[in-house]
Amino acid sequence: MDALFLFRHGQTDHNRTRRFQGQLDVALNDIGRAQALRTGDLVSSCLKGFFTLEGIAKLELEGATSDLARARDTASTVGNAVVAQTGLPCFFRDHPSLREWDCGALQNFTVDEFETAHPGLLPEFYAAFEKDAWSTPYPGGEAKKDVAKRLSPMVEFWNKGVDGAARRSVEEDSTWTRRARRCGVVSTHGGVIHVLLEMLKCPLPEREQIIGNGDVLLLVPHGSGEPGRWHVFRHYRVGDNVAARLGTV
């Protein structure tokens, strides 16, 4: 794969009320649908703006989405936008491996509700999570290492055939994308995106750690030539901007 778009699904009512949803199949709300439209516009604009030197018609898009409704519906909206605005076919295949983390006992609770139901357990979990982020699960849920395990085949697929050594530095991003022939377009969840970024060896800077609903990240191979290492070329913030425009924040 020559480039990757990772984007988070639009807002749900669980997101709006800061309620853990994990693998609950929660639908997009009106704000989420508006965010998905904006996500589709951004992905389309990036494709037209960064992948144009030798003709966008030669670009092959590989679409993948979590099979949970909020990600699938976001993917459908993005795919429709890409087809309409670029003429490129953009179809998404369901991949259960892209589902959000299984939050176990946290699922369907807000932080305050969980603390009331299970006094003292949440701080204990957070402390353990910070100490050993690759092995401590949510109470009754998935460990981070298990999320990484189910994502590994997809990461290996994206890394296959990547010639990072062909790029001399991260300053060549635009030149690289214009030569791109295969591009992944991925609709998934905030927690999963953070795990994927670690697996792709391109964690976000601290100031960009929050990934909002509908946010888009464009990744390209890193100029170091290190196998499996990627670079965040662009991070477009959608969630708060759309919510503010609709007068909800």
Query: Within 10 A of 234 (CB to CB), how many other CB atoms are there?
Result: 16
Residues in the chain: 249
| Strands (E) located in the chain | 3-8, 60-65, 92-94, 182-188, 216-221, 230-236
Q: Which residues fall within 8 angstroms of residue 119, CB to CB, at 6 or more apart? A: none
Q: Considering 9, 189, 222, 231, which one is annotated as catalytic?
A: 9
Residue 153: exposed, middle, or buried by beta-carbon count in 10 A (0-12, 13-18, 19+)?
exposed
Distance CA 114, CA 96 (A): 27
Enumerate the β-bridge partners of residue 56: none
Alpha-carbon distance of 24 to 33, in angstroms, equals 18
Spatial strand order of the sheet with 216-221 comes to 92-94, 60-65, 182-188, 3-8, 216-221, 230-236
Backbone phi, psi, residue 93, to 5° = -95, 140
**Interatomic CA distance for residues 185 and 159, integer angstroms:** 14
Residue 118 annotated in active site: no
Whether 100 is catalytic: yes
Catalytic one among 95, 100, 189, 231? Answer: 100
Structure tokens at 112: 């305050």
- Quote the strand ranges of 95-196, DSSP E: 182-188
In contact, 30 and 12? CB cutoff 8 Å: no
Active site residues: 9, 100
